[in-house]
Structure 1
Amino acid sequence: MADTYDVIIIGGGPGGYVAAIRAAQLGFKTAVVEREHLGGICLNWGCIPTKALLRSAEIYHYMQHPGAYGLTIEGKPGFDLAGVVKRSRGISAQLNQGVGFLLKKNKVDVIWGEAKVGKGEVVVGPSTKPVVQPQNPVPKGTLGHGTYKAKHIIVATGARPRALPGIEPDGKLIWTYFEAMNPASFPKSLIVMGSGAIGIEFASFYRTMGAEVTVVEVLPQVLPVEDAEIAALARKRFEKQGIKILTGAKVAKVEKGADNVTATIQDEKGGSQTITADRLISAVGVVCNTEGLGLEALGVKLDRGSIVTDGMGRTNVPGVYAIGDVAGPPMLAHKAEHEGVICVETIKGMHTHAMDKLQIPGCTYCNPQIASVGLTEAKAKEQGLEIKVGRFPFVGNGKAIALGEPDGLVKTIFDAKTGKLLGAHMVGAEVTELIQGFVVAMGLETTEEDLMHTVFPHPTLSETMHESVLDAYGRVIHV
C-alpha cells in the first residue's frame, strides 16, 4: 500500500534526512515527514548560513587591514548588508534543494505537514505552529496529509531557541538566531545574552562588521563547555577586538524603547548596571520539540524535556525511536547524523554500538575559532586521572606566522599511565578543520607514541598538533 512504510522519520533535518537515506540504502521503504524545510535548522537557519555570514565578516576584516599583507585598497572598505544576507540565504536555499534531490535519488518519500505519532502509525495534518520558512506551494511529487502506517517511527524533530520569562524574543528588539541571521538593518550596538557557540559566533560577526557588542554570561567562564585555559585565551582575543564580556552576570530585566532595549545586568556580587543597545540577541540554549507529537499518550519516557533513548535510538516504547537534538545533548548536527545511522542500522539488525559522546567534537566558528574533543583538563582531574598536558602556541608555527595568525594554542591531555589521548583543545585559525585529526586518533585508540611518530606535513598548521603531543612528554622542538 502507498501509505505503508518500513520506516517513517519525523523531521527532515541533519539527523532525519541522513537516517532516511541510510534506511533507503538498506532496502527499507522510507518516508520523511517535514512541516517546514528540508535540512532543518542547521542548514536553513543555523550551521550553514552562519558560516556564510562569518566568511563575509572574515573577508571584511582582511579588507580593513590590507597593509598587514603588503596590499593597498583604494577608499574605505564597506559592506552591503542586504548582499551579505542574500549570499547567506542563497547558500541555504542551494543546500535545501540538494537535500530534496538526495531524498528523491534514494526514493525516499517526503510527506509535508505536522506529524502525530500513534501506535504503528503517523497522522500528518496541517501545521499548528508558526512556520519560519514555509514550503509553499508543496513541491510536486510529494505526499500530503493523511494517516501512514510504519513498523518503525523515528522522531527527529530537533529543538528551538529557549525563551527566558520576561525576556521573550519579539522578532524586532529581542532576537533569536532567526532574526540575527536576517536583519532588516544593521544594529550599531548589540547585547548578546549567552556565550555558548551561537552567542559567541553572532558576537564575533557583528563586532567584525562594526557593531558595539556586549556579551553577558551567567557562568564565570565565557564558552562554558570549553577547557578553561582555551576559553581564557579566546576571551583575551575577543576583548582585544573590542567585545565587552561580562561573566558571572545575568540580564535581570529588559525595558523596550521605540528602537532600542535597556538591559539591567546583575553580577554575582549583587551589583547592577544598565546597558542600552539597539538589539538584544537571546542565545541561552534550546528546548526540544516534543510537544504535540502524541508521545505522552504512547508512554514515551522524557527526561528534562528530551526523549530518553538507549544509545541506539530506541525509546522505551517498541517501534518508536529518537535521534538528534530531541534525544538530548550534545545538540550538534554531526551527532544527529551519526545517531541516525546507528538507529537505522540497529533496526536492520546490524552490529552497532552506542556512540561515545566524549569523541564528538565541538566547534565554534568565531574569530578566533575554537575546537575541542574529549575531556578538559579540569574534568580529567575531577575523575582522579593522572595526566600529562602538552601545549603548543601558534607563534611557533611557520604556517601560522605566514598566514598572519600567530595567536593560538593547541592543548592535548593524555593519561600518564597508558598514553591514551583523553582530550584535545584548540583556539586559533582553522582549528575547526584541524580537530578531526585528534578525533580520528581517539577513535583508533592511538597512544602518544603513535602520534609522536606520525609524520605531519610542513608547512601546515597541523604541525601544532604534533608539537603539542611532543610537549606533553618533554620533547617539543619549536618552542
Structure 2
Amino acid sequence: MNYDVIVIGSGPGGYVAAIRASQLGLKTAVVERESLGGICLNWGCIPTKALLKSAQVFEYINHAAEYGIKTAAAEADFAAVIKRSRGVADGMSKGVQFLMKKNKIDVIMGTGKAKPGNKVEVKAADGTQKEYTATSIILATGGRSRELPNLKQDGKKIIGYRQAMVLPEQPKSMVVVGSGAIGVEFAYFYATLGTKVTVVEFMENIVPVEDEDISKQLLRSFKKAGIEVMTSSSVESVDTSGTGCKVQVKTASGMQTLECDIVLSAAGVVANIENIGLEETGIKTEKGKVIVDEFYNTNVKGYYAIGDIVSGQALAHVASAEGIICVEKIAGHKPEPLDYNNIPGCTYCSPEIASVGYTEKAAKAAGYELKIGKFPFSASGKASAAGAKDGFVKMIYDAKYGELLGAHMIGANVTEMIAEIVVARKLETTGHEMLKSVHPHPTMSEAIMEATADAYGEVIHL
C-alpha cells in the first residue's frame, strides 16, 4: 500500500496529525500497536481526570455540611471509581475510531518501524509482518514512565502511572516519588479517598517547574489535606521482601525509613525511541530525543518526528500542535513555528495549577525589570461563595513596555482560566490593555484583572 503520509503512533500527536493530513487531501494511514488515542486517552490525561473528578465529588460530599447540606456518611467504592475511569477512556478511544473512519484514514494495528526508502514495517500481534510505503513518515511514538535505577518497577508494590490507575484495591498507605504533575495528581486522588500519602521530592520545592510562590501554596494546601511532603529528599532503596514496602529516604538530616503498601514512581516520562527504526534509517538523536527542525523534519528527508520523542514540553496539546504544523508544512502551507514559551501547563490536583510564560525567577534571569501583581482567591466573591478560597493569581509584566511575561495560578478551575493568558500573549497584549478589559463579576477570572491592577498599583479589592 502506498500513502502520502503514514503516522506511527495514534496519541494526541499522531491521530491529530493524521486527521489534519487527511483534511489537506493527503492519503493517510496511522499505525497503532495498542489502543487508538495512545497513552493520553487510554492511560494518561483523560482517565486520570475521571479519577480526580471522583475524588473531588467525594470531597464535596464530605464537606457538604459547610454548604448547609446534610448527608449520610459517604463511602468511596474504589473498584467503581476505577471502572468509571476506564469507561471514560474507552469512550474517548471509540471517539478516535469514529474520527479515523470519518476522515477516511486507514488504521493499521501493529508495531510500526521506519525503514530506509520511505517504508514502514508493521508487525501484527500474531507476528505477521507487512510493509507499506509513504512519501512522508511521521514518528509519534510518545513516552512511558521513567524508571529510576534504584526504583525498579515490579508492577505490584513499586508501580508506575499505568498500574496506579487500575490497582485491584485501594492501598492504606503510599509513597509517591516525584512531585511533578503525575505525582501530585495521584497524591491528591489517593489521599482524598483515604490513603495515607507521603510525597518525596528530590528538588527543593514540589512541582519544581512552577513559580516558587505556586510551589509554596500547594505545599500549604497539601499539608492541610493531610498529605506529608518531603523535599530535598531522595529514595535510595525499597525493600519489598515483606508484606509491604520499606522505603529508605535520604534527607538533609539523615536517612529515614518509611513503611507503606505501595510505592508510586512518578519521576517523569522517557521517550519511546527504541526499536522504531532510527538506527536503520540514520535518524539522529540527542539526549534521548529525536533531533528535528522547527517544522519537525529529521535529518533524513521524508521522515518527521513530533510529540514526546522530540525536545519541548511533553504535553498532549504540544504534540497536537506539532502534528498540525508538521503536516501543514508537508502539504505546502506556510505555518508559523510553535512558540514554546507560550505553552500553558496544567496540573489537576486540588487546588489546580495553571501557568504560562516566564516564572518570576526566569524573568529576572532574562534581564527584565518587572511589575508583579498577586490577587488571592480569599478576596474573591465567587471563590468565597464556592468555598474555594485557597490559592491566587500572579501576573508578571515587563515594567518598561508592559509586555505580559507570564501568569501563574493556583486554585479551583484555574486550568480553565489560563487560555485567556495564552491568547493575550499571542496577541501581544499589554498590562494596561489587560487591566482595562472588563472582566465579569462575580467570577474566578476577575482575579486576572485584579492581579494586573495590583501590579500597576490600582487594585480595588485588596
Q: What interval of TM-score do these two structures reach, taking the shorter chain for normalisation?
A: over 0.9
Aligned to 2:111: 114
> What's the offset of the Cα at 1:45?
0.5
- The residue aligned with 1:248 is 232
Q: Which runs of 5+ in 2 are unaligned?
A: none
The offset of 1:127, in angstroms, is: 5.4
Are 1:79 and 2:76 matched, yes or no? yes
Q: Segments of 4+ in structure 1 off by > 2 A?
A: 126-129
Q: Secondary structure at the match of 2:40?
A: helix
CA contact (8 A) 1:111 1:145 kept: no
Q: Does the aligned pair in 2 maintain the 1:113–1:125 contact within 8 Å?
A: yes
CA contact 1:31–1:110 (8 Å) conserved in 2? yes
Question: Which deviates more from structure 2 when the two are superposed, residues 110-119 or residues 420-429?
Answer: 110-119
Give SS of 1:257's match. Answer: coil
Q: Percent identity?
A: 52
Asked whether 1:205 is paired with 2:189, we answer yes
* SS in structure 2 at match of 1:36: coil
Correspondences of 1:62-461 after superposition (within 5 Å): 62-74=60-72, 76-118=73-115, 119-126=117-124, 145-267=129-251, 269=252, 271-461=254-444
Distance 1:379 1:441 in 2: 20
Q: CA deviation at 1:286?
A: 1.1
Aligned to 1:141: none
Secondary structure, counterpart of 1:205 in structure 2: helix
CA distance in 1 between counterparts of 2:372 and 2:235 reads 37
Number of positions where the alignment pairs a residue of Structure 1 with one of Structure 2: 461
What SS is found at the alignment partner of 1:182?
coil
Contact 1:7 1:28 in 2 (8 A): yes
Q: Which of 448, 451, 458 is residue 465 of structure 1 equivalent to?
A: 448
Residues 269-290 of structure 1 show CA distances to partners (whole Å, capped at 9, x for unaligned) of: 3611000000000000111101
- 1:151 Cα deviation (Å)? 0.4
Residue 351 of structure 1: how far off its partner (Å)? 1.0
CA distance in 2, matches of 1:155, 1:166: 31
Structure 1 Cα separation of the partners of residues 401 and 169 of structure 2: 56
Contact kept, 8 Å, 2:114 with 2:120, in 1: the verdict is yes
CA apart distance, 1:257 = 3.4
Partners of 2:371 and 2:286 lie apart in 1 by 36
One-letter amino acid of the counterpart of residue 462, structure 1: S
- Structure 1 CA distance, aligned partners of 2:114 and 2:281? 8
Instruction: Please state whether the residue corresponding to 2:50 is helix, strand or coil.
Output: helix
The answer for the alignment partner of 1:61 in structure 2 is 59
Answer whether contact 1:112 1:145 (CA < 8 A) is retained: no
State the one-letter code of the partner of 1:377.
E
Kept in 2, the 8 Å contact 1:114–1:128? The answer is: no
Per-residue deviation, residues 425-444 of structure 1 (Å, max 9, x unmatched)? 00000000011111110111
What is the deviation of 1:329? 2.9
Residue 134 of structure 1 corresponds to none
Residues 10-64 of structure 1: per-residue CA shift (max 9 Å, x gap): 0000000000000000000000000011111111011000000000000101111
Structure 1 Cα separation of the partners of residues 125 and 262 of structure 2? 30
RMSD between aligned alpha carbons? 1.2
The verdict on how the C-alpha distance between 1:398 and 1:128 changes in structure 2, with shifts beyond 3 A counting, is farther
Inter-partner Cα distance in structure 1 for 2:129 and 2:47 = 30
Distance in 2 separating the partners of 1:252 and 1:451: 48
Q: Distance in 2 between matches of 1:164 and 1:234?
A: 25
Partners of 1:166 and 1:230 in 2: CA distance: 30
Counterpart secondary structure, 1:14? coil
TM-score of the pair, normalised by structure 1: 0.95
Equivalent position amino acid for 2:233 in 1:
A
What is the CA–CA distance in structure 2 between the aligned matches of 1:145 and 1:443, rounded to whole Å? 46
The answer (yes or no) to whether the contact 2:110–2:122 under 8 Å persists in 1 is: yes
Q: Hey, what's the Cα distance between the residues in 1 that align with 2:224 and 2:391?
A: 14
Is contact 2:312-2:340 (8 Å) kept? Answer: no
- Alignment check: 8 A CA contact 1:290 1:306 kept: yes
- 1:127, 1:283 → 2: CA distance? 29
What is the rounded CA distance, in whole Å, between the counterparts of 1:272 and 1:106 in structure 2?
Answer: 57
1:43 alignment counterpart = 41
Q: Is the 8 A contact 2:6 2:137 kept in 1?
A: yes
Shift of 1:128: 10
Structure 1, unpaired ranges of 5+: 130-143
Q: TM-score, normalised by structure 2?
A: 0.98
Question: Helix, strand or coil for the counterpart of 1:152?
Answer: strand
**Is the 2:14–2:323 contact (alpha carbons within 8 Å) kept by the matching residues of 1?**
yes
Aligned equivalent of 1:25, options 23, 26, 29: 23
